[in-house]
Amino acid sequence: MDDIEELENKLKTSKDNIHLYNKKNKPDKIENVSIDTNLPLAERIYDFFKKVNNPYILKVGNIIVEMEFSDNSNISPMECIDNALINDYKSKKLSRV
């Protein structure tokens, strides 16, 4: 099995098994994942997927984040994440006013 096939299999299995996480089987902490920012974007994404156990569920600080992306969306996963971060920033900024 080549690297791409292996990665595709991991992504499918990870998506199918997102519900299996519990106190004993914890998601990866995003703070513990280091990615070489000098790599081209495609290689950074590939490196990230190889390093995390399940890319659909991660721990950010003390918060467990589960991700799901629609197969028929008109925006990319990166645009979705960007929009979520922008909206979060705006809501925090407005709450300080």
Q: How confident is the model at residue 46 (pLDDT cuts 50, 70, 90)?
A: confident
pTM: 0.57
Name 11's Cβ contacts closer than 8 Å, sequence gap at least 6: 49, 55
Q: How far apart are CA 81 and CA 18, in angstroms?
A: 19
Instruction: Give strand pairing partners of 64.
Output: 59
Its sign, for the CA torsion 76, 41, 30, 96, is negative
* Residues sharing a CB contact under 8 Å with residue 73, sequence separation 6 or more, in sequence order: 80
82 pLDDT above the threshold of 50: yes
Closest CA to 32 of 12, 64, 10, 58: 58
pLDDT class of 38 with cuts at 50, 70, 90:
very high
> How is the chain split into domains, by residue range?
3-66, 72-97
